[in-house]
Amino acid sequence: MTRRALTKKTWPGVWTNSFCGHPGPGEEMEQPVRRRAVQELGAKITNIRRVLDQFRYRAVDAGRVVENEICPVHMAYVDGPIDPELAEVADWAWVPFQDLAHSVGRTPFAFSPWIVEQFPQLTAHSAFTTQ
């Protein structure tokens, strides 16, 4: 998990997934996943696999910015050290999935709206129920 930098325009300081990004023109989906892992976490990743194909959310932050996105969700392994970009990530932590699910359920206000909306789908996915 990462905690969004306090300087982020939307949802500053909330805990969220490891990193987010969008594909550029002509990019295959694995390319932006690898690129954003390096840009946000300073990390090399391996074994990328899609776990939610058509996740979609709409959320309005405290500054009235609206996000309305379709975001496939991926899972990967980190291969080496993590050196986050401070403009993106204020903090990070390894968290067991069940502990995170409990925290999201009890304190959803501390997390990004997209991770809160993803959890019902993620908890049903076999990649997460076996960990």
Residues known to be catalytic: 20, 69
Write down the H helix ranges in the chain: 30-36, 97-106, 113-123, 126-129
d(CA 60, CA 95): 27
Give the largest CA-CA distance in the chain: 41
d(CA 82, CA 57): 28
The residue with tokens 């993803």 is 118
d(CA 122, CA 16): 14
Give the tokens for residue 56: 């979609």
